[in-house]
Chain A
Amino acid sequence: MNVLIIEDEKALASELELFFTKNNYLCEVCFNGSDASEKIAVNLYDFILIDLGLPDYEGLDLLKEARKSNPEAACIILTARAEVYDRITGLDMGADDYLAKPFSLLELQSRMQAITRRKFGLVQQVVDLDGFMVNLTDRTITYQHETINSITKKEFDLLAYLILHKNRTLTRAQLSEHIWGSVVNDDYDSNFIDAHIKNIRKKLNAFAPADWLETVRGLGYRIKLNT
């Protein structure tokens, strides 16, 4: 997968590059709009991450150019200017997603994977976790052909996020950002993730031990998956 990162904050651009390179993406980075404009015109990308707050270029113009010369690319707008108006215009102008800074790299990656799934209409994505069949498309879990209905929407979101980032320890902060990201809230230290995990375990253990859902002491949670 080719990713073009257009971001004038060099420190952030290099972190994005580091993250995506590690996750086996091919990255190119532009620190300004005119360079990006050239690259968009010449090369083809799978993903274009556009920062709206570029000093020399209107980010939304880049989006237009990208839509023209890279119609296959998925464009994600990244911005610290989280004005509601920008979001609407961005999505209206054909951006595939919109992420307000600050965002979690894992969140960005999961959005990109979601776009890939949407775009290429992958066949049913089913993950086998020691007999628990998690269908990420239909959002169901079955064990030996029996559907586990007691799992709530939130709990499934949590599981799916852990599966998406399998074999990687996710911190409570990362998980709550994914689950409660849109809620503007007075708490800065909510450990309700633990309660959710406890509930998920209880519901799954009624069928079979779910040892693949690991607690990483002092750090967070991880789903171990041998593929």
Chain B
Amino acid sequence: MKLKTKLTLFNTISKLVIVILFVLLLPAIIQNINKNYTDNRLVKQKDKLLQIVHEQGIQTYIEDGQSYGSYLPLKEEYISLDEVAPDYFLDTIQDEKRLVEKDTIDYRILSHTFKAGNKNYLLEIGKSTETIGETTGPLQNIAFKTLLGMILLTILADIIYANYILRPLSLIIKTKLVGNKFPSFTTYKEVKTTTSDFQHLDISIHQMVETIERAFQKEREFISNASHELMTPISILQSKIENMFEQEDIQDEVKVRLLEMQKILNRLKSITKTLLLISQIENDQFLKEDEIPSHMLLQDVYDEISVRLQEKNISYSVNMPQNVVLINVNKFLLFNLFFNLVNNAIKYNKPDGNIAIAGHMHQQKFTISIADTGIGISEDELPFIFNRFKKLKRSLLHDSFGLGLPIVRSIAIFHNIEIKVTSQKGEGSVFNLIIPAKLIKELPT
């Protein structure tokens, strides 16, 4: 989920929770306020009545042995005054029911005893709680609607602001990370922002890319220079050995030793040439403009390699569609890719083994699989087979210097071809090359 979406979601949810909590608490709060207000009024009314009694005497309301009572026509308020026993005492405010003319009504009642003229009186002032509760409902409703509107407004404001403040971040992600191959070898373009965190991020990413780029460049230059510097002395040695080999006065015994030197020199030459090739591929020095039918490419590989099959009596089958043409590729490189894979399939195969090559279209991609019945690759070695100079147990038994699969990988990456390897120790390996739609042209059959 995007940061912006997350922020908006969090804002909305947190605000909604608070509002709902508030709205749910609202009746209790209103009730409490109302109660306090009512109680206050009741006390004030009581004080006023006591003052009247004090100033004008109890007779204003009550004769001897009588009681006084009065209520409003709708019975929402009432007042009563009674004579009680001299030692009776009461001073409370509480909710109680009263029967007023056959109606039982809930009242908030203030009860208070006081003495007047040696007699004890009980005063009750009641206020119907129904009238108190009536206001709660509409208030809750209004509060909920108002708050909801306000929340929507703030969320809108949040989104707009988040959008504005996070724009540099999306810009950094869009222009520097997504879509760009990492490391991207483009020039630095500053993302304009006043947020220091984003400035820091932008510059850090740029610096990291630059560091990686430099490291890449350095490695390339090193490999390339080293190869060149090595090629010249190798060339001199090779010429010298060849010339000595031709000399008539040299005995066969010496010639055999010269031959051994030549072999070793060839090994050095192969390694250097291979490293140079890898560096050239990684340096994008090859064009991808060739076009070749896939079955013909594999035929070329077969022509080149068939002699190697004889030695181990390996059977070789190719099942390729005749209508798939590889386009926008480098023929030389692809040839080398397949040569190395098939060569490995021969090298690590068992005598009388089998190699099966098949190609098929699947979801616009073309997969070529090369399956052998060889010694296989163990699971713990599988992740490392494409590493340079990684000598696996299997290659130690053969004359190999650990650069065959690295070349394959470099060429595959150069063409955006995906390689999937499955292998069963002792059973064989399958190399699947998944060729993207961009490199394929299907001819009508």
Contacts and interface: CB of A to CB of B under 8 A. Distances in A.
Question: Do these two chains interact?
Answer: yes
Interface of A: 9, 11-12, 15-16, 18-19, 22, 53, 80-85, 100-106, 152-154, 168-169, 171, 173-174, 177, 180, 182-190, 192, 195-196, 199, 218-220
Interface size class of B (residues with CB under 8 A): 35 or more
A100 B307 CA distance: 27
B304 A183 contact: yes
Given A83-B280, A188-B399, A218-B255, 18 more contacts: A9-B236, A12-B232, A81-B228, A82-B231, A84-B285, A101-B235, A153-B303, A154-B307, A173-B262, A186-B401, A186-B403, A186-B404, A187-B270, A187-B347, A188-B401, A190-B308, A190-B399, A219-B256
A102 B240 contact: no
A176 B252 CA distance: 21
A186 B243 contact: no
Contacts of B276: 82
Contact of B332 (A182, A190, A192, A196): A182
Contacts of B304: 154, 180, 183
Majority secondary structure of chain B interface residues (helix, strand, loop or mixed): helix
Interface in B118-142: none
Contacts of A102: 231, 234-235, 237-238, 269
Contact of B231 (A18, A22, A101, A185): A101
Contacts of A190: 308, 399
Contact of A219 (B252, B347, B403): B252
Interface of B: 227-228, 231-232, 234-240, 242-243, 245-246, 252, 255-256, 259, 262-263, 266-267, 269-271, 273-274, 276-277, 280, 285-287, 303-304, 306-308, 310-311, 332, 335-336, 339-340, 343-344, 347, 398-405, 407
Contacts of A101: 231-232, 234-235
A105 B45 CA distance: 127
Contacts of B336: 183-185
A85 B236 contact: no
A113 B228 CA distance: 28
A103 B304 CA distance: 21
Contact of A12 (B239, B269, B310, B399): B239
A199 B336 CA distance: 25
Contacts of B227: 82
A186 B344 contact: yes
B332 A186 contact: no
Nearest to B247: A22
B234 A195 contact: no
21 contacts: A15-B240, A15-B243, A16-B239, A22-B246, A82-B231, A84-B287, A85-B285, A102-B234, A105-B242, A154-B303, A174-B242, A184-B336, A185-B343, A185-B404, A186-B404, A187-B399, A188-B399, A192-B308, A195-B308, A195-B311, A219-B256
Contacts of B270: 184-185, 187-188
Contact of A186 (B252, B285, B340): B340
Contacts of B267: 188-189
B233 to A, nearest CB: 9
B409 to A, nearest CB: 13
A189 B307 contact: no
Given A19-B239, A189-B263, A196-B307, A184 B232 contact: no
Contact of B236 (A15, A18, A171): A15
